[in-house]
């Protein structure tokens, strides 16, 4: 087995292990002939940011620093930053709603707001832009803290589950593709029942 293929398998197994530990289902995983890899995860909430760091954290746990390929984690890091930024924006909007109160529900008896004139709309847009600029430096700092937290949690969880990580990485490297059921079997039982049964049948035949 080539070093590149094993590296990609460990990387993908890091994502898979963290996703399953967080009870996020994984559709399947593939290691391609060109040593690229893909893990398909069901739509996940905030923990997906931690899962994004799974590949890099797994490589750092298994390989020495000079054998880690940064290109494997480039897309993961971009996605993690996007997730953290989206989470920060969402929490900011929640704080604004708590301060100002939610808008009246359609059909409620509360008095409706007058229609905005074009000048009023421009004022509101300017205010929103001003708030956005004011939040930007604080948001960037929060994003960095969230990413640092996600990286640390990913490293700690994988460090406590190294056997599971290797249990998933080895057959992924050997067979190239594992589906949802096979990944769940590896995670829960540490083996692939169907493949082992088939190999045992061939030996008896």
Percent of the chain residues past pLDDT 70, beyond the cut:
72
Rounded to two decimals, what is the model's pTM? 0.75
pLDDT at 125: 65
Residue 17 has pLDDT above 90, yes or no: yes
Provide the terminal-to-terminal Cα distance of the chain, rounded to the nearest Å.
28
Mean residue pLDDT across the chain: 81
Whole-angstrom distance, CA of residue 15 vs CA of residue 41 = 9
132 or 151, higher pLDDT: 151
Q: Give 35-81 pLDDT, tens digit per residue.
A: 889 999 876 655 578 999 999 999 999 999 988 988 888 989 998 99
Percent of the chain residues past pLDDT 90, beyond the cut:
44
- Read off φ and ψ for residue 188, nearest 5 degrees: -85, -35
Whole-angstrom distance, CA of residue 47 vs CA of residue 52 = 9
Crossing angle of helices 180-189 and 193-204, in 10° steps, is 90
Q: Give 79-133 pLDDT, tens digit per residue.
A: 899 888 888 877 776 655 555 455 545 554 444 445 556 666 676 667 666 666 7
Residue 87 burial class via C-beta count within 10 angstroms: exposed 0-12, middle 13-18, buried 19 and up: middle
- Average pLDDT for 168-178: 94
- 8 Å CB contact between 26 and 20: yes
Whole-angstrom distance, CA of residue 83 vs CA of residue 45 = 9
* DSSP single-letter state for residue 192: -
């Amino acid at each position: 087995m080539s070093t590149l293929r094993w590296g990609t398998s460990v990387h993908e197994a890091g994502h898979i292990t963290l996703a399953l530990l967080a009870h996020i289902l994984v559709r399947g995983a593939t290691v391609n002939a060109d040593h690229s890899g893909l893990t398909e995860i069901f739509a996940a909430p905030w923990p997906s940011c931690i899962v994004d760091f799974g590949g890099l954290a797994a490589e750092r746990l298994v390989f020495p620093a000079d054998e880690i390929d940064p290109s494997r984690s480039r897309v993961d890091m971009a996605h993690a930053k996007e997730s953290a930024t989206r989470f920060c924006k969402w929490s900011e909007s929640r704080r604004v709603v708590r301060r100002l109160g939610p808008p009246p529900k359609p059909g409620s008896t509360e008095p409706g707001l007058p229609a905005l004139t074009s000048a009023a709309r421009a004022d509101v847009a300017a205010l929103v832009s001003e708030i956005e600029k004011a939040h930007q430096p604080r948001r960037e700092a929060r994003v960095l803290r969230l990413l640092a937290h996600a990286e640390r949690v990913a490293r700690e969880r994988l460090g406590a589950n190294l056997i599971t990580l290797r249990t998933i990485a080895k057959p992924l490297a050997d067979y190239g593709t594992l589906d949802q059921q096979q990944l769940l079997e590896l995670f829960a039982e540490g083996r692939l029942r169907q493949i082992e049964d088939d190999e045992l049948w061939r030996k008896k035949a």
